[in-house]
Amino acid sequence: MVIVDADDVDVVSGIAWELGVGGIEEHVRPDTRVELRIGCEAERAQLVLDALSSKWSPTAESVAADEGLDAWREHAQSWRVGNMVIVPPWLETPLELADNDQVFFIDPGHAFGSASHETTRMCLAVLAELVVPGCSVADIGCGSGVLAIVAAHVGASRVIATDIAAEAIVSSLENVRRNGVEDIVEVSTAKVEEFAHASFDLVVANIGAATLCAMANELVRITKLGGVLVLSGILGEQAEGVISALETAGAANFEVRADGEWRTVVCERS
């Protein structure tokens, strides 16, 4: 746990996500500071403590593996991105829906991707703009599968959703079935290195700047010539480094979108 000023929430959360934590809960205190409860395995906890202790005062305690992981559910809400409405399946569908609204029922379980985070919402908005009927999409680090599911609904004819975390695979499989796109979306544990060369018209990865830089060559490689990459999980000060890695890998025509401290990089394989 770490208590931070409201302005530091995105920075601290970004550091924690980069280190591979399993989840973060935010609780606003009466003094307007924010208590961040960060969940991760014991072996990762020291990395988080070391990374945060230079500026903040984090503490750690051991808990049972599943203790507190579902506490966020009582505070969950629906989220709107354009005409897309992301609804936790245990909540009622919002009444104020327009005729052209698309409702997606997403339970992230213990994975990432409820649309509560800025990076997920930015990626959803880009997918709604850029996915065209019949295209192929890869969602690398799919978490809950929400990006893959939306891609299928807005026109993609072939979608691969892949993640190395078991909880993400479980959540994605359930959400794919729940939203009726199991004939389009394939959920896989395959690593990006295992995909054939230039397989996808659009590649989306919302997984953090350090991982994106490390995977830049492979992400560009699996994108068809002229295809689009949508990359997020990037803090503002990290965007330049991600762009540099992608340029070296063969990407071009960069656009950077912002939501608060977070950035999404959209580019093409040149």
Helix (H, G, I), strand (E, B) or coil at 227: strand
Point out the least confidently predicted range of 29-38, 70-79, 199-208, 238-247. Answer: 70-79
Predicted pLDDT at 158:
96
How many residues are there in the chain? 270
CB of 198 closer than 8 Å to CB of 225: yes
CA distance 3 to 58: 7
Confidence of residue 30 (pLDDT cuts 50, 70, 90): confident
Ordered by start, the domain boundaries in the chain are 2-71, 111-269
Predicted pLDDT at 16:
83
Q: Which amino acid is at 152?
A: A
Predicted pLDDT at 80:
86
Confidence of residue 41 (pLDDT cuts 50, 70, 90): confident
Predicted pLDDT at 222:
96
The model's pLDDT over 108-164, given as tens digits with 9 standing for 90+, comes to 876 676 777 899 999 999 999 999 999 999 999 999 999 999 999 999 999 999 998
The model's pLDDT over 214-265, given as tens digits with 9 standing for 90+, comes to 999 999 999 999 999 999 999 999 999 999 999 999 999 999 999 999 999 9
As a whole number, the mean pLDDT across the chain is 88
The model's pLDDT over 64-88, given as tens digits with 9 standing for 90+, comes to 555 555 555 566 778 888 899 988 8
* Residue with more model confidence, 163 or 9: 163
Query: What pairs with residue 88 in β-bridges?
Result: none
CA of 145: how far to CAs of 16, 153, 200, 205, 239, in Å? 21, 12, 17, 11, 24
In this predicted structure, the answer to whether residue 189 has a pLDDT above a threshold of 80 is yes
CB of 203 closer than 8 Å to CB of 137: yes
Predicted pLDDT at 78:
80
Query: What's the topology of domain 111-269?
Result: Rossmann fold (3.40.50)
CA distance 110 to 181: 21
Helix (H, G, I), strand (E, B) or coil at 218: helix
Equal CATH topology for 2-71 and 111-269: no
* Residue with more model confidence, 140 or 7: 140
Predicted pLDDT at 264:
97
Of residues 160, 241, 227, 242, the one with CA closest to residue 194: 160
Of residues 198, 93, 111, the one with CA closest to residue 148: 111
For domain 2-71, which CATH number applies: 2.60.40, 3.30.70, 3.40.1350, 1.10.3470? 3.30.70
In this predicted structure, the answer to whether residue 3 has a pLDDT above a threshold of 60 is yes
The pair of structure tokens assigned to 93 is 């569908």
